[in-house]
Structure 1
Amino acid sequence: MTVIVTFLDFLSSRYPPTLTIEQVGEITSENPQTIRNRLSEGKYHIPSFKVGSKRLFKLIDVAEFIERQSTADPSHPGNKRPRRGRPTKVEQMARQQAAHADARG
């Protein structure tokens, strides 16, 4: 039996529905002061809101951000973008083998 756990499921088992800057920093591995700086510049990538003087983030927004980051990562198997520059030896050999297979078939 395969169990698929989403980022939201994983995070909701450890955090409340609303997060502080410190908790977001813990989840995203960012320094809380960096988050504050980007918020003041209007350049932070996760939406937030204020309750009184406290800045909060929705857990679902943080989970969606992590999901977007993992699928936008070029090392992710679904997002292979051709590299710039000279092909590696492995790529050259794969191309040669494919060319030989096409010539035979």
Structure 2
Amino acid sequence: MIITISAVLGTVAQVFAFDILTGRLGKLHLIRICLAVAAIFMIAMIQLSSYALVLSVTLGIFLTFDLIRPAPTTYLSKITDNEQYKCRKHYRTAIAGILFNINVQY
């Protein structure tokens, strides 16, 4: 249930808050802030014992990663201008390489 709620809230945050936040902070600064907040939430997750607090911190982690997700792709497409195909190709290659290194038989 928490995944469903966080997915809906993450979608709403991406639609309504992403443009506002990137306009005020910039894409790279937004990524840094979201990563820092997510790290703080993950450290807090270790210390919490209440079920409601764990759920709320999990929701916060999902929301920060939902705001991070579109930032690198829009940033990379903005800096490449007419060579977006190269950027998209390298981005997919990097993701494929990371996924290839995962040992699925573990």
Give the structure with the larger strand fraction: 1
Could you state the TM-score of these two structures normalised by the residue count of structure 2?
A: 0.28
Q: Answer 1 or 2: which has greater helix percent.
A: 2
Q: What is the TM-score normalised by the length of structure 1?
A: 0.28
The higher-RCO structure (CA 8 Å, 6+ apart) is 2
